[in-house]
Each structure stands twice: as C-alpha cells, then as structure tokens.
Amino acid sequence: MENLIYQWPQGKKCAVSLSFDFDGESPYLWRTRNTPSNMLGEWEQRRFGPRQGIYRILDILKKYEVRATFFIPGVIAEKYPQAVEQVAKHGHEIGLHGYLHERVDQLTKTEVEETFTKSKEIFERLLGKKTFGYRSPSWEMTLETFEVLREHNIIYDSSMMGYDHPYWVDDLPEIPVQWLLDDAIFFRYTGGGPGSYPPQNPAVVMDAWKQEFEGMKRYGGLFLTTMHPWISGRASRLMELEQLILFLQRDSDVWWATCEEVAAYHRSHYPDQFRETIGVN
Ligand SMILES: [Zn+2]
C-alpha cells in the first residue's frame, strides 16, 4: 500500500491524546473471581488509584487545561461514583472498559454483551450520556466483541495496534494504542517473583516517550499514551507527567484531542482510506 502521511487538522504534524485506564482493583477482582484470595496487598495497592491517584492526575490536567479520555470499568463507577463524577465534571471524556475488567477472549459472546449492557447502563445513569467509545480490558479483542460494539452503537474502539494513526476496522474507527506508550510495562510492580522486574526510572521512560513523540511528528502519527491512576498516580511519576505535558504544550505542531474527537475527525476526513477488514487468517 502507498505510504500515505495522515493529515491532521490545522496542518498540525501529529495528534496528542492522553488516556487513562481507571482500573483500580477491577483486574484483581476479575483474576480472583473463582478463587477468592486472602491476600490484601495488591488489592490495596490498586485502590490507591481511586482513592488518591485519580485526584492528583485530575489536578495536573486541570492545571494545564488538558482534556483527556478515561476508560472505566463499570464496577469502578459503582464503587467510586464520586471519583467518576469528578472525572466527568472536569470535562474529560469517559469510555467503556468492561464491567469487571473481563478479558473478552475468555468470555462467550453473550457474556461480552452482558458486560456492555451492564456498564452502559451504569454510565448512562451517572453521566446522562448515551454514546461511548470503548477500550478492551488488557487490549485483547475478538471478532465477536467487534460485533457487540456495532450492536451497542459504540462510536470507536481503542484497543488495537494495526497502524499508529486512526484507521477503520470494518465500519468502526480504531484509535490505536501501543505498548511503548503504556505506563504498565515500565512501572507495574506488585511484588517479587519470577518475571517481575523493579519499576523503571520515570525520567528514562519520559525520555523514551519524547523520542516516540518526535517520530510521530515525522510520520503523522497519533501519540496516545495510556496511564493507570494506580500506577502513574505515584509521586515521582506525576512529576514526570507534568514535565511531559509541559514538553508537549511547548510544541506548536500538536493537535490536542480526546479519543472521541480523534474518532470524529477520522470519520469526517477519512471515510474511504485506511480501511481494514479484520480477521484471524
Ligand atoms: Zn484496564
């Protein structure tokens, strides 16, 4: 295929979108659903997100007048309605992220549908809003889940990595994520054991992210970060987040947008290009 450079609004060279997966303890609850654990450590560590991390992140975003996108499992809205209301009150976009942070590849289609029905109802009630974008828990997707997205009138998906700018998965805008711009691969640490590495220095991670940003400008990409309040709400990482925002705001080549705005732009400006039919062969 021709190597087209994606064109952004106002002649900007790239788009920047900050996203937060406000998971709290939900992945832990999902993982231990059949074998309830008496271990409180990770549970409490994750609760740091809805108790403190989220509010510190909201403060920083407010200070720099950045609107972001928060993907939130339904159960977090049930457990921490005030935190979720604050996210909405600050003008951020809220997207769906499962009910209990279920891995969709481990569910039947009916079970996937139930997570949508349940979480949509919670957010509709809480926010008075009816249309939502979606990010799959753990960034795993199935063909059946894409069918469910269409049946539930979801306006975009943000779980896949097939391009580094928006594209179409059948008739749905895909707002692509990538592992390099996820805080979890650098900082997620819930104790020792095999395969467990100490968290990295936030300054080193920010340096890598800044390099990726420079590359995105060259190739017309979407610089979409994914952070988790229970991970990036920690003190030194927040200071680096602040530095990252300052760095990005100094650059006049950036179009800032929420994921919903990126999806709307893609719909209106690229109705025919970057179309992919997804499949497993
Ligand atoms: Zn998540």
Q: What is the 135 CA–ligand 1 centroid distance (Å)?
A: 8
First-last CA distance in the chain: 19
- State the pLDDT at residue 128: 93
Q: What is the 272 CA–ligand 1 centroid distance (Å)?
A: 31
Q: What is the 261 CA–ligand 1 centroid distance (Å)?
A: 21
- State the pLDDT at residue 193: 78
Q: Which domains does the chain have, with CATH numbers?
A: 9-276 (3.20.20.370)
Residue 180's identity, in one-letter code, is: L
Q: What is the 201 CA–ligand 1 centroid distance (Å)?
A: 22
By the 8 A CB rule, do 109 and 147 touch? yes
Q: What is the 103 CA–ligand 1 centroid distance (Å)?
A: 10
pLDDT tens for each residue of the chain, 281 residues long: 567 899 999 999 999 999 999 999 999 999 999 998 888 999 999 999 999 999 999 999 999 999 999 999 999 999 999 999 999 999 999 999 999 999 999 999 999 999 999 999 999 999 998 999 999 999 999 999 999 999 999 999 999 999 999 999 989 999 999 999 999 999 999 987 777 788 999 999 999 999 999 999 999 999 999 999 999 999 999 999 999 999 999 999 999 999 999 999 999 999 999 999 887 66
Q: What is the 4 CA–ligand 1 centroid distance (Å)?
A: 32
Give me 198's structure tokens: 């100490």
By the 8 A CB rule, do 154 and 113 touch? no
Compute how many other C-beta atoms are within 10 angstroms of the C-beta atom of residue 234.
19
Phi-psi region of 52 (alpha: psi -120 to 50; beta: other; left: phi over 0): alpha
Give 172's strand partners: 169
